[in-house]
Homo-oligomer: A and B are copies of this chain.
Amino acid sequence: MEMKIPLPKEEDGPCSYCDMSRLCLPAGLPQSDLLQLEHIVGSRRAVPRGEFLYRQGDPFTRLYAVRSGHWKTVQRGQGGCLVTGFQMAGDLLGLDAIADGSHGCDAVALENSEVCEIPFGRLQELVAALPALLEQFHRALSREIRRQQAALYLLGNARAEQRLALFLIDLSARYAARGMPSERLQLRMSREDIGAHLGLTMECVCRLLARFRKEGWISLTGRHLTIHNSAQLAALADGAGQDSLA
């Protein structure tokens, strides 16, 4: 049960053969719709670790679906920056750019990664013709809103240990959804990235991870993390570890 999950195949393949279509835009689409969608999905694009897929302010022409690897989206402001999310296979990038035609954050590859390019103009045409795809697309947009609502709650209400617990649980669940082991996580992001995502400093993230390890909830060497007690993490995330009020 700890065998290596095969990485996405390297050869060019349409969505039909993509491992991640189950999680991606094509999810649940009838075969005929899928074929039409494949027509407009452009070439794959490989981006080496640390490089930008797009930057804040870049003009918006297409969406991207993560094919392989890991990404972060970063919002930069005066004297601080926030990691708005970490994206993995099947996730969409660029949904925030539709609003005004320019990207609202940077997208950076955390490792050598690939995306599928989806020209937005053509997608919008196609979506009008295929009701199932339209629904799917709206759900994707709305899901992004939900994701961020959860993040807002986290930043507004949760104390540091809760945030980290929620982060680990979320990560674990997303790996599970991709058929990868949900207990053994290879963190692709730095402690600083995690901090910038959770509204904490790197040092605070370190200390908390150390505590979780000391308590035996997790074990951790470098960026390889194993969850030993997900129930305890879930309890923490639910607000245990302090006075539970009514």
Quick check: is A152 within 8 A (CB to CB) of the other chain? yes
Number of chain A residues whose Cβ lies closer than 8 Å to a Cβ of chain B: 48
B156 in contact with A98 (CB, 8 Å) = no
Quick check: is A232 within 8 A (CB to CB) of the other chain? no
Quick check: is A134 within 8 A (CB to CB) of the other chain? yes
With A96-B149, A152-B75, A199-B156: A124-B142 Cβ-Cβ less than 8 Å: no
In angstroms, Cα B199 to Cα A146, docked, is: 18
List which A97-112 residues lie within 8 A (CB) of chain B. Answer: 97-100, 104-105
B152 in contact with A152 (CB, 8 Å) = yes
Instruction: List, in ascending order, chain B residues with CB within 8 A of A239's CB.
Output: 78-80
Quick check: is A89 within 8 A (CB to CB) of the other chain? no
Chain A's interface: helix, strand, loop or mixed, by majority? helix
A169: shortest Cβ distance to chain B, in Å?
14
Q: Taking the full assembly, how many copies of this chain does it contain?
A: 2
In angstroms, Cα B149 to Cα A81, docked, is: 12
A156: shortest Cβ distance to chain B, in Å?
4
Quick check: is A216 within 8 A (CB to CB) of the other chain? no
Quick check: is A28 within 8 A (CB to CB) of the other chain? no
Of the candidates B145, B155, B156, B158, the one whose C-beta lies within 8 Å of that of A145 is B145
Chain A interface residues toward B at CB < 8 A: 75, 77-82, 84, 95-100, 104-105, 124-125, 127-129, 131, 134-135, 138-139, 141-146, 148-149, 151-153, 155-158, 196, 198-199, 238-239, 244-245
For the complex of A and B, the 4 pairs showing the least CB-CB separation, nearest first, are: A98-B142, A155-B155, A156-B199, A99-B142
